[in-house]
A = this chain, B = another copy of it.
Amino acid sequence: MEITLRQLELIEAASKILTKSGTSGLTIKNLAREMNFSESAIYRHFSSKEDIILAMMDYLAENIDERLTNLPKNTNPEEKFRAMFEEQFNFFSKNGHYVVAVFSDGLMDESLKINEAIMKLLAVKMKHLFPLIADGQEKNVFTKAISTEELVYVVMGTFKLQMYKWRLFNFEFDLKESGNKMIDSLLTLIKTK
């Protein structure tokens, strides 16, 4: 699971290409150009293109997991909720090319292994969001009018669409600002009155 510096560089370059030019743009030739070396050199660091994508998904999953694990503890559900999404918006705001993490859907067809990696990424996000929402419901901060699962899907769906909009508008608007509005709206909607 360890990764060399060059491998990380390749992962970053691949993410950049994916975000800028989509799946069809991610070719070995383009990747080589982005890295300023030859195509064959890439195969010194990864055995196949699929391996690069898998390593990327894995890196993203671990990265997200780590960031969400290290959020401040011992706060109330609302603050936790806020912190979690602020962290997400903050990260993607700085690392726009990693939105692939949210839109990995586009890679869905490539291979079985990649599909599994996408599932894993989704599971990581769920792992953090679900208990947070459930806890909030228990403490009567979030509404119990609908089930935890449904509430989680409303929140996750809204987040995903927000990121989609950002990408569609070519990262032109301020994600943090717009994200904060989204957080407020969602909280207004799901908090008990």
Q: List 6 A-B contacts (CB under 8 A).
A: A24-B24, A105-B105, A122-B168, A150-B181, A150-B185, A153-B182
Is A108 among interface residues, defined by CB-CB distance under 8 A? yes
Q: Is the CB of B153 within 8 A of A162?
A: yes
Name the prevailing secondary structure of the A interface residues. helix
Tell me the A residues contacting B by CB distance below 8 Å.
Answer: 21-25, 103, 105-106, 108-110, 119, 122, 143, 145-147, 150-151, 153-154, 156-162, 164-165, 168, 181-182, 184-186, 188-190, 193
Q: Is the CB of B157 within 8 A of A189?
A: no
Q: Which residues of B contact A181 (CB under 8 A)?
A: 150
A154 to chain B, nearest CB (A): 5
Q: Is the CB of B185 within 8 A of A146?
A: yes
Q: Which residues of B contact A168 (CB under 8 A)?
A: 119, 122
Q: Which residues of B contact A106 (CB under 8 A)?
A: 23, 105-106, 108
Name the residue on B nearest A165 (C-beta): B153
What separation, in Å, do the CA atoms of A153 and B161 have in the docked complex? Answer: 7
Identify which of B119, B151, B161 contacts A157 (C-beta below 8 A).
Answer: B161
A164 to chain B, nearest CB (A): 7
Which 5 pairs of residues, A with B, have the shortest CB-CB distance?
A: A22-B109, A157-B161, A157-B157, A150-B185, A157-B158
